[in-house]
Structure 1
Amino acid sequence: MTILKTMSVVILTVMLSSCSTTKKTTATYWVNSAKVDCDAGAGKTTCLQVSKAENHENAEWSLFYSTINGFTFEPGYLQKIEVTETQLDAEGVPADASSIQYDLINVLEKKQDPKLAIHDIWATTHINSKAIESTTTVPMLEINTTEMRASGTNGCNNYTGQIKNITSNTIEFGAIASTRKMCMDMAVPDRFDKAFNSISTYKKEGLTLSFYNEAGDEMLRLKKVD
């Protein structure tokens, strides 16, 4: 009986170990430098943005609604982390909770996010490489990389919209909403709008920010507002 009992314990231990192993996997994530607004079921909150891309420059960020045990989020820093994903028993998980438990194994890499360098308010000085002549209102652009939003004025109308994606040298804007009033002189606002809609890449040098189209032509040049 003792031998049978011992064998039963061994078999049960192996089975439990096997089940536990099949429920755990290891994954590597990049965690974005800013949280974004999200709807977590119980109401509005902020969520991490994660990607399993090898390089954060090519990352397509996804909202992460759960928590990562042992992980400390630091605004302004990109972090590459290794985590354990444990599949939980569905019967013991609340309806509004994740069925996967995430635990930090290690922080593999941490770096300051380069796109924070353009998180500022900018005044337009050139459109299509030509200096803007004196106007009543200079086109302005505010870039908020924390909230991934852009806003400002084209010299007549105010606008606001989403930044869909941004890397250290590329930027993609989402839909832009704008007021519709007509001003005495629409030449600069119309030129600004057309140039803004063709932006693909950017470069910051000192207090100057330049935007380019896909062909590499300079569309807008702006200076930092004090």
Structure 2
Amino acid sequence: MKKILILGILLFAAACSPVKNSEIYWVNSYKQDCVGVGPMKCMLVQKGENPDQSQWQNFYSQIEGFEYQPGFIYKLKVKEEKMQDVPADASSIKYTLLKVLEKKEDARLKLSGNWEAVKINGSVIKIPRIRGAGVIPHLNIDISEMQISGSDGCNNFNGRITKVAKQKIEWGPVASTMKLCANMSIVDSFNQAFNAVAEYRINGDSLVLTDNEGKELLEFAKSGTPAKTLLNDIWIAEQVDGIVVTDKISAPRLEINIAKMKVMGTDGCNYINGGIITLTNSELVFSPVAGTKKMCFDMTVPDKFNAILSQVRSYKIAELKLTLFDGKGRILAVLKKGD
């Protein structure tokens, strides 16, 4: 009887004691290309209480019971069991999840996406509206693939991210096309700043890249965010080429459809319609518009409205008003959001 009691106590103690061969595993927020039996995606893991950003390693096996979700960094308690007589291409260790200790969203993934350059070395980028002048530089970041691509305003480029931490980011040499554009000043300034980037910070839809000392080199705005969406509406003119529109009933109006890249409306006398050639969060260029050919009593505003549409190169939306600018930043028209 005493032996049975002692055996029971030992079994109870064993059941309550910590599991042997358990380890703390950290799992990164994204997977990486790797080659096991064949090409595959591997989790990135490391052991220990405190993760080191330089110590992530490919994990070629599976953790039984663990449901991986990209975008989160995990701290796990994992049991390791040595297996016998396993196939040559299989792991000799079985990994089983005991507990998820932590699951935190990885803020670094906010870097991923398309970014449009706003400033270089603190100066707002203004592209001359001449043929061959180039486009606004833009950057695509893919943290899950550790890749970058984009345009410096003239040439396309792509490369790999070699390091990304909480505020640090580094990339290796990038491959680029070798075109020459009419104006290379913005291109050269962008590339010089881009090659000096060492750190970053994100404020909402704004990405600022800095050097090691925190000097701001490049500022980007997230592409495809509210400005284009807000543009998709009916707009009624309040001012056209310096003339205040007093007759609200016959005021020029535009209905902009960004999904179809179309514009339609009235110049205050005739119905008009046309297309949209260029549309970003700041740029807007209309194709030539077609319209009816009526003659109204006063054609001053209609004539000016038709004339300014072909000059539009950019826009801004603020306080339910749409302001249209020409290539030099001159205000062409101010329109109010329709009810």
TM range (shorter): 0.7 to 0.9
Question: One-letter code of the match for 2:35?
Answer: D
Q: Alignment partner for residue 79 of structure 1, among 71, 74, 80? A: 74
89, 98, 102: which is aligned to 1:96?
89
Q: Identity over aligned residues, as a percent?
A: 41
Q: When the two structures are superposed, what TM-score results if normalisation uses the length of structure 1? A: 0.82
In the alignment, the residues of structure 2 paired with residue 221 and residue 95 of structure 1 have an alpha-carbon distance, to the nearest angstrom, of: 51
- The CA deviation string for residues 27-61 of structure 1, in whole angstroms up to 9 with x for no partner, is 212111111221112x2111111123544574532
Which is bigger in relative contact order (C-alpha 8 A, separation at least 6)? 1
| Bigger fraction of residues in helix | 1
Q: Distance in 2 between matches of 1:50 and 1:175?
A: 27
**CA 197–53 in structure 1, closer or farther in 2 if over 3 Å, else same:** farther
The corresponding residue for 1:123 is 116
**1:1-226 alignment, distance < 5 Å:** 25-41=21-37, 43-52=38-47, 54-56=49-51, 58=53, 60-89=55-84, 92-135=85-128, 136-226=134-224
Shift of 1:202: 0.7
Tell me the distance in 2 between the aligned counterparts of 1:145 and 1:133.
Answer: 29
Alignment CA distance shift 1:54-1:169 (3 Å): farther
Structure 1: which 5+ residue stretches go unaligned?
Answer: 1-23
* In 1: Cα distance, 2:25 partner to 2:201 partner: 27
What is the distance in 1 between the residues matched to 2:194 and 2:172? 12
Structure 2: which 5+ runs fail to align? Answer: 1-19, 129-133, 225-339
Q: Check the 8 A contact 1:52/1:59 in 2, yes or no.
A: no
Are residues 27 and 53 of structure 1, via their aligned partners in 2, closer, same or farther at CA, if it must alter by over 3 Å?
closer
TM-score, with length taken from structure 2: 0.56
Tell me which structure has the larger Cα radius of gyration: 2
Change (3 A) 1:50 1:173: same
Residue 127 of structure 1 deviates from its aligned partner by 1.2
Alignment partners' CA distance in 2, 1:52 and 1:177: 35
Deviations 1:171-199 (A, max 9, x none): 12133222222222222122111111111
Amino acid at match of 2:181: C
CA change 1:55–1:150 in 2 (3 A) is farther
1:88 positional shift: 2.5
Cα displacement string for residues 152-211 of structure 1 (whole angstroms, at most 9, x for unaligned residues): 111111111112222232112133222222222222122111111111111111221101
- Number of residue pairs matched? 202
Amino acid corresponding to residue 72 of structure 1 in structure 2:
E
